[in-house]
Amino acid sequence: MSIELNSKVPDFTAASTGGEFKLSALKGKSLVLYFYPKDNTPGCTTEGENFRDLYAQFAAVGCDIVGVSRDSLKSHENFKAKMEFPFELISDPDETLCNLFDVMKMKNMYGKQVRGVERSTFVINKKGVLTQEWRGVKVPGHAQAVLDFVGTMKD
């Protein structure tokens, strides 16, 4: 079962670089939850850098950012430190969140079909409602588009 747009996101707890992440702990803040395929790969690094570079502007409008992939916490901690990300990364090796947000897809890699994370971004408002989603994200300009959307949110 995946989450529908404009519906409440069930509370979840997950292991992150900042310790246990709990959605319900974000009282009064909205959240950008972005799913990416793999730490330390070119597109994922660029996407993280773009969110990092706009982080202060997201914070200014009361929005937090969290990245999610299937990588281990150790991999995430190294990636976060290397890239100086001011936000946390969630480790989802059992694909609990990936399945909740329906981001696991069959993709072509070097002519082979592989199951992986489709680069996707979700905005959850202060009330815990999924208000926007981007699927099959292309990295250039994406973080700015998300910021532009978040800046228009009323709640």
pLDDT in tens, 54-94: 999 999 999 999 999 999 999 999 999 999 999 999 999 99
Is residue 47 in a domain?
Answer: yes
- Rounded to an integer, what distance in angstroms lies between the CA atom of residue 90 and that of residue 35? 9
Number of structural domains in the chain: 1
Is residue 109 in a domain?
Answer: yes
Is residue 96 in a domain?
Answer: yes
Is residue 2 in a domain?
Answer: no
**Which pLDDT score is estimated for 1?**
59
Query: Is 63 one of the annotated active-site residues of the chain?
Result: no
CATH number for 116: 3.40.30.10
Query: Which is higher by pLDDT, 109 or 91?
Result: 91
Q: Which of 44, 103, 124, 146 is catalytic?
A: 44
- Rounded to an integer, what distance in angstroms lies between the CA atom of residue 126 and that of residue 140? 27
Is residue 52 in a domain?
Answer: yes
Is residue 106 in a domain?
Answer: yes
Is residue 5 in a domain?
Answer: no
Full-model pTM: 0.95
The pLDDT tens digits of the residues spanning 17-34 come to 999 999 999 878 999 999
Is 126 exposed, middle or buried (CB count within 10 Å of its CB: 0-12, 13-18, 19+)? middle
Can you list the alpha helix ranges (DSSP code H) found in the chain? 42-53, 55-60, 73-83, 96-100, 142-152
Per the structure, the complete domain to which residue 97 belongs is given by: 13-152
